[in-house]
Chain A
Amino acid sequence: MHTSDEQLHHLLERELRAAVAARIEDGAEAGEVTADLVRRLRRIGELRSGPPGPGADGSSAAG
């Protein structure tokens, strides 16, 4: 039985793989796609190191 993390990982990886394959099929170069993935990876890193969300101080998050 898969855990929710494994489910999530599997889902995201599958979608990423499909998206990359579609872009390659559309004529994108492999190196260009790889560079794009690296850019996204770095942006995710910035999201993680960003400021705390609005609920971090104990207040409830808005709708």
Chain B
Amino acid sequence: MPGGARTYFPATALTSIFFGSPRRDDRATFDIEEWNVDSSEVRRLARRGELTGRVGAAPADERRRLRVEATEVVWPLVYQRVTRAAERARGHHRCASAVQRLAPECLDRFHDDVEAVVDDLFAHADLPIANLEGWLTMRMPKAVIEGYRKRRGRRGAPQRPRIPIWLATGLHDDPWLVELAKVVLDWAGVDATAGASLWPLTRWAELRLRRTGDVAADEATVAAEVEVVLTAMRRRRAWYEKNVERPLGRKQAPVWFATPADAGYAEPDPLHLVEPYERDDALLSELAGRAIDAMTEQIGRGRRVEDVVTEVLGTVFGAVPDSYELDRLPGADPPGPGHVVALIGDPDRLERVIAAVVGILRGRSGGGGGPSEGR
């Protein structure tokens, strides 16, 4: 560090124990900074402002070695400056006491933060860094946030969740529901899971208490409010799929570890990312949509509207062999009629539905009896 203040201390007997007796040409003082620098290639390169360039040009093996060295420097700082405070704030006092005591999900977060800081070091160490720890400490908050955003981006979640005006309006601008919508978006994009639940309802119930002061509300209240928020979000299906469903689908399902305390208890139900009724709703909607597509397509091919509607709605609502597709190879003909089930058992009702659909389709094609235009 030319011209800068250096920390020297006398070469005592203690240093001699570790480093041997000073040779005749050794200085009478020991430069701890220089010793640190020489002990690590990462430190040496950073000191010369060559680390970023070297990492960019290095073959994979060397990059891996530099990453290991950098991680050795970075992790204690991240734990002290970032992880410990975050774990205290979460109430994870055990996790805040030592790295070895981090719970699995907290350890994952810690690893992510260390990776983010190492990435930041490798990307920006292109100027001489005299005090690596100080430089890392200064950049750490920004690097950790940037890493978090990048991870969200990789999961397909928005990097900075924002509540669109239409959603806030759909929630009647209720401050708590709008905040809940934001934490739902935030939660969808993080790696963390909530045990066997989809949402961290306990934490959100605590947040609700802090925001509203309503002591009567519990997790069940928040669960109902989450449904209100999700219903409002689903009004724009494409937005919902992009911002909630897709990132949620990329969460790693938690693994259940049996412990002695669980003896006698059954393994919990698997985590469902959507409730069964939501899945069935989606199935009904898809079936209706595909039926419309099929009718439109067939009519577009020149078939009579009545014939097409009868055929397609017969498939949607009529009798279908329940063995269909279960006992045949792909491409083989369907089996003969076996036990059949009809969704609408009343022929009159089916006729009325068919007549209504024919009416709509004829109206769409201008009221004529000919084929409709394709959609």
22 A-B residue contacts at CB 8 Å?
A4-B360, A4-B363, A9-B292, A16-B287, A16-B316, A16-B317, A19-B317, A36-B341, A37-B280, A39-B322, A40-B316, A41-B283, A41-B286, A43-B324, A44-B294, A47-B298, A53-B303, A55-B301, A55-B302, A60-B302, A61-B371, A62-B304
Instruction: Report chain A residues within 8 Å CB of B285.
Output: 9, 13
Q: Which of A43, A58, A59 contacts B315 (CB 8 A)?
A: A43
Residue in B280, B294, B322, B371 whose CB lies within 8 Å of A47: B294
* Nearest chain B CB to A55 CB, angstrom units: 2
Looking at the complex, which one of A11, A40, A41 makes contact with B357 (CB distance below 8 Å)? Answer: A11
**Within 8 Å of chain A (Cβ to Cβ): is B38?**
no
Bound: A48/B312 CA distance, A:
10
Are B284 and A16 in contact (CB-based, < 8 A)? yes
Shortest CB-to-CB span from B371 to chain A, Å, is: 7
CB < 8 Å: which of A19, A37, A52 contacts B283? A37
CB closest chain-B residue, reference A3:
B364
Asked if residues A61 and B302 are in contact (CB atoms below 8 Å), the reply is yes
User: Does the CB pair B283–A13 fall under 8 Å?
Assistant: no
Q: Which residue of B lies closest to A17 (CB)?
A: B284
Interface of B is mostly: helix
Nearest CB in chain B: distance from A41 CB, A: 5
A53 touches B301 (CB 8 A): yes
B353 located at the interface, meaning its Cβ lies under 8 Å from any Cβ of chain A in the complex: yes
The 3 closest A-B pairs by CB, nearest first: A55-B302, A53-B303, A12-B288
Query: Is B230 located at the chain interface by the 8 A CB criterion?
Result: no
B192 to chain A, nearest CB (A): 31
A27 within 8 A of B: no
Cβ–Cβ contact B317 & A15, under 8 A = yes
Q: Is the CB of A61 within 8 A of B303?
A: yes
Contacts of B290 in A (CB 8 A): 41, 44-45, 48
Say yes or no: is A1 at the interface (Cβ < 8 Å to chain B): no
- The answer to whether A16 and B343 touch across the interface, beta carbons within 8 angstroms, is yes
Question: Chain A: how many interface residues by the 8 Å CB criterion?
Answer: 40
B353 and A42 contact, CB distance less than 8 A: no
Give the CA-CA distance A5 to B288 in the complex, in Å. 10
Inter-chain contacts of A17 with B (CB < 8 A): 284
B316 and A9: CB pair below 8 A? no
Asked if A44 and B315 sit within 8 Å, CB to CB, the answer is: yes
Tell me the smallest distance from the CB of B107 to a CB of chain A, in Å.
39
Q: Which residues of B contact A40 (CB under 8 A)?
A: 287, 315-316, 320, 343
**Distance (Å) between the CB of A31 and the closest chain B CB?**
9
Cβ distance B19 to chain A, nearest Cβ, rounded Å = 73
- Inter-chain contacts of A19 with B (CB < 8 A): 317, 343-344
Partner of B343, one of A9, A23, A38, A62: A23
Question: Which residues in B have their C-beta under 8 angstroms from that of A55?
Answer: 301-303, 371
Since A40-B316, A53-B308 are in contact, a sample of 16 more A-B pairs with Cβ atoms closer than 8 Å, ordered by chain A residue number, is A4-B363, A7-B360, A9-B285, A9-B288, A15-B353, A23-B343, A34-B283, A38-B283, A41-B287, A44-B287, A53-B301, A53-B302, A54-B303, A55-B303, A55-B371, A58-B302
**Identity of the chain B residue whose Cβ is nearest the Cβ of A14 in the assembled complex:** B288
Q: In the bound complex, do residue A37 and residue B287 qualify as a contact, i.e. CB atoms below 8 Å apart?
A: yes
